[in-house]
Amino acid sequence: MENLQYTRNWKQKDIVVAIGDTRVGRGDFLLAAGPCSVENSRQMAGISDILSGTPVKLLRGGAFKPRTSPYSFQGLGEEGLKLLRQTADALRIPLVTEVTDLKYLELVSRYADVLQIGSRNMAAYELLKEAGRQPKPVLLKRGMAATVKEFLYAAEYVAAGGNEQLILCERGIRSFDPEFRNVLDLNAVTLLKRITPFPVIVDPSHGSGRADAVLALSLAAAAAGADGVMIEVHPSPGTALSDGDQSLDPDRFRVWAKQLSALARFLGKRI
């Protein structure tokens, strides 16, 4: 791919992203999990119970939600950031949460350890540039209709701006088939792992839209060479205010954590 500044080559080692004690890339495999959105303190206490003592090393969750419909739950805002921070601190793991707009960057930075830039904002170039100028690691999700090349250019807006602590996330692309919300593009994972030095993780929750597909796709992502997997989990998915259909319940979560960490270790990764 022409005109990329960040390419894998024999001179340069792959980039490791360090978030406190959590590392991702170059052999360190990341399990990240949490709710789609923060709803209330009872839900977050449930999340804490589910994640505690598991190999999950990064809490995810949305306080500012980029919803397709303006009539869907938009998130709790700063109240949600506070609940996320408390939960991450109680679990002693770092927190990733989304910045949906430049105007929230400073506020979200006060609570988050990693700034997520979502699919709908992958090509928000001013947001990418600003993320490149600030010191926190960035998790950049692929746009739902972005080519791999467009994704890599978006990544370079952040990296060339001065922030090389960047994790790329494949989260599924649009297709013609309504059976699944998106098609998880594991082709792209194999390509990205060949050409980019940044760690690549996979989100099979948004990538499929179905809780019953998440385990198989997580294992497939690890086998395809991903450096980690990020999923949505909920104490009672049936009552979730967003993305309940794709959120693992506590039983499914336990099987997921066990099988995915076992496979990653088998593949020679550190968990």
CA distance 161 to 141: 18
Residues 21-60 vs ligand PEP: string with x where CB under 6 A?
---------------x------------------------
**17-19 and 58-60 as β-strands: parallel, antiparallel, unpaired?**
unpaired
Our finding on whether 143 is near ligand PEP (CB under 6 A) is: no
Our finding on whether 171 is near ligand PEP (CB under 6 A) is: yes
CB of 18 to ligand PEP, least distance (A): 21
CA distance 178 to 265: 35
CA distance 137 to 135: 7
Enumerate residues 221-250 that contact Mn ion by CB under 5 A: 243
Q: Is 8 exposed, middle or buried (0-12, 13-18, 19+ CB in 10 A)?
A: middle
Q: Tell me the number of residues near ligand PEP by CB under 6 A.
A: 10
User: Cβ-closest residue to ligand PEP?
Assistant: 118
Residue closest to 96 by CA, chosen among 123, 61, 124? 61
Residues 203-242 vs ligand PEP: string with x where CB under 6 A?
---x------------------------------------
**14 vs 78, beta carbon nearer ligand PEP:** 78
CA distance 98 to 96: 7
Dump strand ranges (E) for 1-130: 17-19, 22-24, 30-34, 58-60, 95-98, 114-117
CA distance 171 to 184: 6
CB of 247 to Mn ion, least distance (A): 8
Residues 72-111 vs Mn ion: string with x where CB under 5 A?
----------------------------------------
Our finding on whether 156 is near ligand PEP (CB under 6 A) is: no
Residues 108-127 vs ligand PEP: string with x where CB under 6 A?
----------xxx-------
Which tokens hold the place of 61?
């969750």
**Inter-helix orientation angle 78-91/41-51, to 10°:** 30
**In whole angstroms, how large is the CA radius of gyration of the chain?**
17
Residues that bind ligand PEP (CB under 6 A): 36, 62, 66, 98, 118-120, 141, 171, 206
Residues that bind Mn ion (CB under 5 A): 36, 243
